[in-house]
Amino acid sequence: MFTDLNKHAVKTSNSLSTLYDARDEIAVATKHVIEDIPFFKRYTDKERDILGKNSSNLFTLNMLYKANQRILHSSRCSDDDVLFLLGFWKNVADNIIEWQEVYNKTLTKKALREDYIVSLAITINAFGKLGRYFYDHQEVKIKAVLAGLQRIDWSRTNTNWVGRTIRDNGKVLNSEEAITLTCSEIKKQLGIELSKEELQKEKQLQG
């Protein structure tokens, strides 16, 4: 049996591994977030890492897991950390108008994927980086600040995302620098002061 299992082993997806990992505290917390926030519960695939363009889901468990790793910067996750993650993601979900429109079926998932950046892995990672700011500055009134997400233009036609989240040709960027620049733009629009690293990246972007 041991030989057969090893000889014919199939590599599981990161999402599926996270789903059944009860020892990884961030994995457990991420599952709590998905189960407790209706939007994520409805649109998160817990088994796949890559979603097809016609998928009924918008996110993967692994995508949110990685974002939570950015928030906590640790393998540990206390009960207070779980409460923080739940509060942060609930405020994000409640204040992205396009997500609510999809949930209420006034915007299609296809239109969200094609016309907006808020279902991209890079944007979810940028939210993770944003979450770290609030984690480090818990004196900031997170609910009041994140209400500003409603005012942000998330459409791909918004030139503010060019060079940060997408290329000139509309292709999605995929790098740590792109995540930082996407987060910086969100922070600027929320009125949050940028870090030294973010300011340096902004200068480089501006040439």
Burial of 1 (0-12, 13-18, 19+ CB in 10 A): exposed
pTM of the model: 0.89
The kind and range of the H/E element at 3 are helix 2-7
Predicted local distance difference test score (pLDDT) of residue 11: 59
Predicted local distance difference test score (pLDDT) of residue 49: 84
Predicted local distance difference test score (pLDDT) of residue 50: 86
Predicted local distance difference test score (pLDDT) of residue 145: 98
- pLDDT tens digits, the chain, 207 residues: what are they? 666 656 665 556 666 666 556 688 999 999 999 999 999 999 999 988 888 888 899 999 999 999 999 999 988 999 999 999 999 999 999 999 999 999 999 999 999 999 999 999 999 999 999 999 999 999 999 999 999 999 999 999 999 999 999 999 989 999 999 999 999 999 999 999 999 999 999 999 987
Predicted local distance difference test score (pLDDT) of residue 129: 97
Burial of 202 (0-12, 13-18, 19+ CB in 10 A): middle
Establish how many alpha carbons lie within 13 A of residue 34's alpha carbon, considering only the half-sphere containing its beta carbon. 26
Long-range contacts of 70-79 (CB under 8 A, 24+ apart): 70/125, 70/128, 70/129, 70/131, 70/132, 71/128, 71/131, 71/132, 71/135, 72/26, 72/135, 73/132, 75/24, 75/25, 75/26, 76/25, 77/25, 77/26, 77/28, 77/29
How far is the C-alpha of 168 from the C-alpha of 60, rounded, in Å? 27
Predicted local distance difference test score (pLDDT) of residue 61: 94
How far is the C-alpha of 69 from the C-alpha of 83, rounded, in Å? 15
